[in-house]
Chains A and B, each alone.
Chain A
Amino acid sequence: MNSKIVLRNIVLAGGVALSSTAWAATPSGEMLGATCAACHGTNGSSVGILPSLASTPASYFVDSMKGFKSGTRKATVMDRVAKGYSDEEIQLMGDFFEAQKVVPMKQKFESVKASQGKKLHDKYCEKCHEDGGRKPDEGGVLAGQSMIYLTFSMADFLSGDREMDKKMKRKVDELLEESDKAGIDALIHFYGSQQ
């Protein structure tokens, strides 16, 4: 991970040196990130239904934006928005959001479901979404995200509208076998309970 960041920065620095005019016409990550705040919250910490972007690893942010841009990831609005930014701008935004500390969302949850969800999380999800889903990883931060947004995301994964990687699909299948869709709901309450 670290070596990847170093490598990317070297590549970026090289790109800047080669085209100073492009540099002059590129907004800063701070500028670009500020334009997202009306939907995703100040510095990327959402207080509404839309997902927080703060603390998201830049690599995950960039993958998501490129998926929206190419149409491989389904969206309502983000497909139209992502097409407005160059790969360089998307990288700058990703770096900006990665550097922001996420503030978990204050929201209502059911504590019975949350504790049930914690058990399911530990069993099926913790290996990749570490520290109860708090740790920024290849799937972004799950803990403290909007529960409505997580519900939409899981519905898309289950319907096939959004692709799960093989590891995730295997674990989700196992979880569904154990607890049906109520287990997904319990997981979402667990992530929502972390405030």
Chain B
Amino acid sequence: MISRRNFIKLSGGAIAVGSLAACAGGLSGKGAGGKVVVIGGGTGGATAAKYLRMFDPTIEVTLIEANPTYHTCYMSNEVLSGERTMDSIAFGYDGLRQRGVRVVHDLVTGIDPIGRVVTTKGGDKFAYDRAIVSPGIDFKWAAIEGHSPEVANTIPHAWKAGSQTVLLRNQLTAMKDGGTVVIAPPSGAYRCPPGPYERASQIAHYLKKHKPKSKVLILDSGDKFAKQGLFMQGWKRMYGYGTDKSLIEWVSAAQGGKVEGVDAKNMRVQAAVESFKADVINIIPPQKAGKLAFDAGLTEGDWCPINKKTFESKIHPNIHVLGDASNAAGMPKSGYSANVQAKVCAMAVRDLLAGREPGFPSYQNTCYSIVGDDYGISVSVVYSFDEEKNQIIAVKGAGGVTPKEATLEDLRREMHYAHGWYANITNDIFG
């Protein structure tokens, strides 16, 4: 086994050779050329693959993704309420193929960061000058007693969209009127911070129409949450929040809400103080970087440390990590974040392959949440980069959430803009 110090030295040598080769290649043509292998065809990976080809069509881009179809986690809450179909959140890779991305459906089994080769389950090997890894999230099952990937076949997390979304939707439609739906948001950094509360809203929206004697019980691991004031304002207006007929009840960690265990057989969740019986249980377990990030030795703690200007791994040179798996604080883990980070990364990779210093980055994140009919809210932040501290910092005096005094017409427009955002971001990723 190579020690990390030796390893970095070795691969440091490899970079020098690599970039010389890239420079030499750059002399013969207009673009710099070079081989980039992107692993993971979600928001981060697919955007990076597309934008690399847009920024420099001489770069050879291979995208390796296990599944032929990707379901976005964002907007999947509208599938749960019945406002949207599964088909409407499903995307394939023909758009990327048309842009000259070589799309390979296979599972990556290993990355050799020194030899710069990616190996797949199908037995293929892909050499790269630079690799971009965007493996998404994995769950920390052990944080909830009695939970496991097998238990998730009956107690869905639905935090990776697809069959899990369908399972939760079917449980909601099969539930009797008067039932209780438990949602347990995770502790720690996790994908889509306002997501669990938008989910509570969308499920309440469904219950109000079809099962009005039922309720959503949020058993929370925290004492506050994203866009809290706005969510609660919407819940009061539409779901009777705060009254004894409320369709949504929120139990904070301080009130004993933190879920510590689950008994799938008896449909009970064990919270800090008492246990709750439920008809549908949606535990969203605490999260960490996707499995591949750990297998490839790209993690430190739960996430992957990176240079936030280029998204290059701080552990393995020539490998970039984006999206939810990376530690890109202070940006939240969101679809918009991953989409923007992929562009910052693609631009840096283009520059590095051409032997240039990467340009200065810019980042943005806007997250819409649809609270009910004609009712959207948002948070929007513009970010810059502090090179000295390697920090992504919110630009002062800008950004923020929908004002509390927003008119109903403004909220209606935000709902439309949420749908417009979805059409554009998915087309920007896969189109």
> Which residues of A are in contact with B by a Cβ distance under 8 Å?
24-28, 30-32, 34-42, 46-50, 76-77, 80-85, 89, 146, 148-149, 152
Q: Is the CB of A39 within 8 A of B366?
A: yes
B427 within 8 A of A: yes
Q: Is the CB of A77 within 8 A of B417?
A: yes
Q: Is the CB of B360 within 8 A of A27?
A: yes
CA distance A5 to B37 in the complex (A): 41
Q: Is the CB of B421 within 8 A of A76?
A: no
Stretch from B128-136, B156-164, B176-184, B392-400 at the A interface: B392-400
B402 within 8 A of A: yes
Which of chain B's residues 37-57 have a Cβ closer than 8 Å to chain A? 51, 54-55
B2 within 8 A of A: no
CB 8 Å contact bits of B317-351 with A (1 = contact, 0 = none): 00000000000000000011001100110010000
> Which residues of B are in contact with A by a Cβ distance under 8 Å?
51, 54-55, 335-336, 339-340, 343-344, 347, 359-364, 366, 378, 380-383, 395, 397-400, 402, 406, 410, 413-414, 416-417, 419-425, 427-428, 431
CA distance A35 to B363 in the complex (A): 6
CA distance A146 to B417 in the complex (A): 11
Q: Is the CB of A41 within 8 A of B399?
A: no
Q: Is the CB of A38 within 8 A of B421?
A: yes
CA distance A31 to B360 in the complex (A): 8
Interchain residue pairs A-B with the least CB separation, the first 5: A84-B382, A49-B420, A48-B420, A48-B423, A84-B398
CA distance A28 to B55 in the complex (A): 13
Given contacts A31-B360, A35-B340, A49-B417, contact A80 B380 (CB under 8 A): yes
Q: Is the CB of A48 within 8 A of B421?
A: yes
Residues on the B chain within 8 Å of A32, using CB? 362
Tell me how far the C-beta of A118 lies from the nearest C-beta in chain B, rounded to whole angstroms.
26
Q: Which of A27, A34, A82, A148 has the most CB of B within 10 A?
A: A34
Q: Is the CB of B362 within 8 A of A48?
A: no
Residues on the A chain within 8 Å of B395, using CB? 83-85
Q: Is the CB of B397 within 8 A of A42?
A: no
Q: Is the CB of A39 within 8 A of B421?
A: yes
Residues on the B chain within 8 Å of A82, using CB? 398
Residues on the B chain within 8 Å of A152, using CB? 413, 416
Tell me how far the C-beta of B53 lies from the nearest C-beta in chain A, rounded to whole angstroms.
12
Q: Is the CB of B416 within 8 A of A27?
A: no
Beta-carbon nearest neighbor of A41 in chain B = B424
- Starting from the known contacts A35-B362, A39-B424, 6 additional A-B residue pairs (CB-CB under 8 Å) come to A31-B343, A31-B362, A46-B420, A49-B419, A49-B423, A76-B417
CA distance A37 to B342 in the complex (A): 12
Tell me how far the C-beta of B327 lies from the nearest C-beta in chain A, rounded to whole angstroms.
20
Q: Is the CB of B399 within 8 A of A84?
A: yes
Q: Is the CB of B417 within 8 A of A31?
A: no
A-B contact pairs, 9 of them (CB 8 A): A30-B347, A31-B343, A37-B424, A38-B339, A50-B421, A77-B378, A80-B400, A83-B395, A148-B420
CA distance A76 to B51 in the complex (A): 29
Q: Is the CB of B340 within 8 A of A47?
A: no
Tell me how far the C-beta of A112 lies from the nearest C-beta in chain B, rounded to whole angstroms.
25
Tell me how far the C-beta of B263 lies from the nearest C-beta in chain A, rounded to whole angstroms.
41
Residues on the A chain within 8 Å of B54, using CB? 42
Beta-carbon nearest neighbor of B431 in chain A = A42
Beta-carbon nearest neighbor of B346 in chain A = A34
CA distance A90 to B403 in the complex (A): 24
Beta-carbon nearest neighbor of B55 in chain A = A30
Tell me how far the C-beta of A39 lies from the nearest C-beta in chain B, rounded to whole angstroms.
5
Q: Is the CB of B399 within 8 A of A80?
A: yes
Given contacts A38-B366, A39-B417, contact A26 B360 (CB under 8 A): yes
CA distance A113 to B336 in the complex (A): 37
Beta-carbon nearest neighbor of B347 in chain A = A31
Residues on the A chain within 8 Å of B362, using CB? 27, 31-32, 35, 89
